[in-house]
Every structure is written in C-alpha cells, then in structure tokens.
Amino acid sequence: MNKTQRDEIEAALKQAEAFVKEVKGSVGLPIVPDAKTGAATWYDQRELRLKYTVSVEKTRRFFEGLADGRIMATRCRRCGELYFPPQDFCSRCGSEDVEWIELSDVGQLLTFTVINVKPMSFSHYQDYTVGIARMPEGINVLAWVDGDPKKLRVGMKVKLKVVRRQPENYLIYEFEPVE
C-alpha cells in the first residue's frame, strides 16, 4: 500500500547486483545482457555518490527567517527590483545595496502539476504536487502544494507557510489552498 518507487528501485537494483555477482562467480567477468536488447553490457564495478555543499552565506537571512516562520525576498534599494529567490546584488542595475523584505502569505495559483514518476532522490515520497503562485508583491514562488490536487484550480488563492519536511526533518516553505 505505502510502497514507494524507492522500494521498487532498490529491489530491482538488488536483483541486478545478485545476478552480476553470480555471473562473475562463474565466468569471471561483470558482463550481462542488456534487459531490452540482449546486447553484452559491462556492469560498472565503480560507483559514484554525489552530495554537494552549496554556499548560503549571502542569503542566510532567508534561511534564518524560516525559523521565525517568515519567507523573505530581497529588494534593490536603487532600482526597486524584487528578488525571489533572494540575492544580495541587483542583476538589473548592478547595485549591491539590497534590503530584506517579508513576503505576503497569500498568492494566486498560476499553475500546478502532480509528480507521479519521481527522481531517484525523491522516490521515497508519495506523489507530490508542485505549484507556482503569484504573490501580491508581483513575484512568483514555486513550492509544493499541500492537500488533494483534485481540489486545486488555476487562479485559486493559496497560502504560503513554513513547514518541517519529513522524513529529512528540515524547514521549508509550501502552499496550502485557502478555503
């Protein structure tokens, strides 16, 4: 019932690994037939894991704001350009004088989708809904939309809130429909 795509992927991977191990044991080579074409393929004996560390030093106020339940953008003090995601310089006029502002919490849903087939690193979730909403300040925010996607309509009001994403247990923002 609550089987996720990750369970399926891991089961398939385990099966493949076991098969390759058996083949290596008998013929001494990690060569197995491709599932679709039957062509001889070399099963990689090396594995690469990627996990990046990304600087948020210049935008740490945004992340600190989440802890207070606030979602912040930046505004150029020289030309007034608004930035979400926030950035500490102005791409438009070149100024580095920006101020932090808190975004209003109710926006209008412009579009949405339900992610049925998930990326590997999201495969432990059930289907999730991603939407983009226009905020009163005139900028858009992209985030998950909580609740039943069948009840969502383009143009409806959605409310931005800070939540703790599970199972990773970290602060992030998402939308919920306004009844």
Partner 1 sequence: MSSRRVGIIGAAYSKFGDRQDVNLAELTWEAFREALQEASIDKDEIEFTVVSNVGAWSSEPLPAVVVSEAMGLRPKGSVRVEAACASGSAAVKLAHDIIAAGQAEVATAIGVEKMKESPTPLVVEFIGRAGNYMWEFENFGLTFPGYYALYATAYMAKYGVKEEDLCEVAVKNHYYAARNERAQFRNEINVERCMRSPYIAWPLKLYDCSPITDGAAAVILASEDYIRKHGREATWILGIGSATGTSNMSKRQDFTSLDASVVATRSAYSKAGIDPGNPVKSIDVAEVHDCFTIAEILAYEDLGFAKRGEGLKLLKEGETYKEGSIPVNLSGGLKAKGHPIGATGQSMIAELHHQLLGKVGGERQADIRRGVALAHNVGGTGHYAYVTVLSLHKEVEA
Site residues (vs Zn ion, CB under 5 A):
76, 78-79, 81, 90, 92-93, 95
Judged by beta carbon, residue 154 or residue 178, the one nearer partner 1 is 154
Q: Give the end-to-end CA distance of the chain in Å, rounded to a whole number.
A: 30
Site for partner 1, rule CB under 8 A: 5, 9, 12-13, 34, 36-37, 39, 41, 44, 54, 84-85, 110-123, 125, 128, 130, 132, 139-144, 149, 153-155, 165, 172
User: Omega into 136 within 30° of 0, i.e. cis?
Assistant: no
**What does the alpha-carbon distance between residue 76 and residue 135 come to, in Å, rounded to a whole number?**
18
**Residue 80: CB minimum distance to partner 1, A:** 16
Q: CB–CB of 130/144 below 8 Å? A: yes
**Residue 95: CB minimum distance to partner 1, A:** 19
What stretches of the chain show up as alpha helix (H) in DSSP?
Answer: 5-27, 60-67
Judged by beta carbon, residue 80 or residue 147, the one nearer Zn ion is 80
Of Zn ion, partner 1, none, which one sits near residue 29, judging by CB under 5 to 8 A according to partner kind? none
Of Zn ion, partner 1, none, which one sits near residue 114, judging by CB under 5 to 8 A according to partner kind? partner 1
Q: In b/e form, how buried is each residue of 30-41, taking b as 16+ CB within 10 angstroms?
A: eebeeeeeeeee
